[in-house]
Structure 1
């Protein structure tokens, strides 16, 4: 099971202006650098928590249906299932009708239940692709405050400790970062 981002988020959950305030910077000389730190921090927080922060499109690749035809999605929160394509042994794709599956958002991570007989028979299944949208929403304000604060802390840490070889940069992370992420981490089953 492999998953990839197919549509990245349209914006970051933290603005450059918010980072300038966090760092108490008055000038705009290093906006590109701050923007890069914000993006990298968001990506790190997303990897650590297994959460998408701003709406983004994902694709999950499966070689076969899991037991019971229940697919746990690797990223949370899931906003929608956009399309499920199953491939037969000849490599022909068949898009499942939305009535052939249900999205269960009550579990964390969300699950998709594939109906029996949906698509091609399991013996003839070469693989499947599940396209879904994940994230808290389209706006920075949709992202929980602790995760936005974690991005600011991590980006500020990287801004202040730019030398990769220093002992401080190698051994420390901002105080409280692990706590901000831990309550939002999706458990891996």
Structure 2
């Protein structure tokens, strides 16, 4: 189970960038709406339920497991750091696993990182009880919008512009039978290289 502990402090694109995308120069009348659209499009891509299967701006999570598997696959790349691993020992007492007992592979990589026992070490025994192991980790490209890859920022701006101009999901012109798609042309191409399709990706 994944739990968001500390959400991102910012968004992948700023209000000013979105307004520039929309050609809005002075007025602030639409600022609240544009901020909501940025947040909505970001949520479509980011975090546990996002389309990408990854974290964008820095965020802190915990992951609970029922036991220690052969290797722990950490979701939501790119992984910045593993803060700690705690577990319930056979007696039911909470213990913190020393950092020299495990190795983290794939930090800052585009794929999911892995945690394995350090060379010559094995995982400790845990109580046979649900959520006996907790991994606390930090994920995301960085602390501000400039750290997020430009194709993803461009996709967010593209989608924000699309939603701003088309206030309904689908608009049908009865005269031409033309419709406006839910996502704008080019959006899927921009995000495709960053999308994780399988758990082992």
TM-score under structure 1 normalisation?
0.87
**Cα RMSD (Å) of the superposition?**
2.0
Structure 1 residues not aligned, in runs of 5+: none
Say whether residues 1:48 and 2:70 are aligned partners. Answer: no
Match of 2:133? 128
Give the whole-Å Cα distance in 2 for the aligned partners of 1:157 and 1:3: 32
Between 1:157-166 and 1:30-39, the stretch displaced more is 157-166
Between 1:6-15 and 1:125-134, the stretch displaced more is 125-134
SS at match of 1:183: helix
Say whether residues 1:29 and 2:29 are aligned partners. Answer: yes
Alignment of 1:78-93 (within 5 A): 78-88=79-89, 91-93=92-94
CA contact (8 A) 2:62 2:134 kept: yes
Give the whole-Å Cα distance in 1 for the aligned partners of 2:29 and 2:90: 56
Give the whole-Å Cα distance in 2 for the aligned partners of 1:156 and 1:92: 53
Give the whole-Å Cα distance in 2 for the aligned partners of 1:64 and 1:162: 47
Give the whole-Å Cα distance in 2 for the aligned partners of 1:98 and 1:112: 11
* TM superposition shift of 1:21: 0.7
Give the whole-Å Cα distance in 2 for the aligned partners of 1:42 and 1:179: 16
* TM superposition shift of 1:165: 6.2
Match of 1:104? 105
More helix by share: 1
Say whether residues 1:5 and 2:15 are aligned partners. Answer: no
Q: Which has the larger radius of gyration?
A: 2
Give the whole-Å Cα distance in 2 for the aligned partners of 1:93 and 1:161: 53
* TM superposition shift of 1:45: 1.5
Give the whole-Å Cα distance in 2 for the aligned partners of 1:100 and 1:125: 21
SS at match of 1:133: strand
* TM superposition shift of 1:92: 3.0
Give the whole-Å Cα distance in 2 for the aligned partners of 1:101 and 1:75: 20
Aligned residue pairs: how many?
183
Say whether residues 1:143 and 2:148 are aligned partners. Answer: yes
Say whether residues 1:113 and 2:116 are aligned partners. Answer: yes
Give a deviation string over 1:113-154, Cα, whole Å, max 9, x none. Answer: 1354444x14x3432111100011112111110010111112
Structure 2 residues not aligned, in runs of 5+: 173-178
Between 1:39-48 and 1:7-16, the stretch displaced more is 39-48
CA contact (8 A) 1:45 1:150 kept: no
SS at match of 1:85: strand
Give the whole-Å Cα distance in 2 for the aligned partners of 1:59 and 1:161: 38
CA contact (8 A) 1:76 1:186 kept: no
CA contact (8 A) 2:55 2:140 kept: yes
Match of 2:175? none
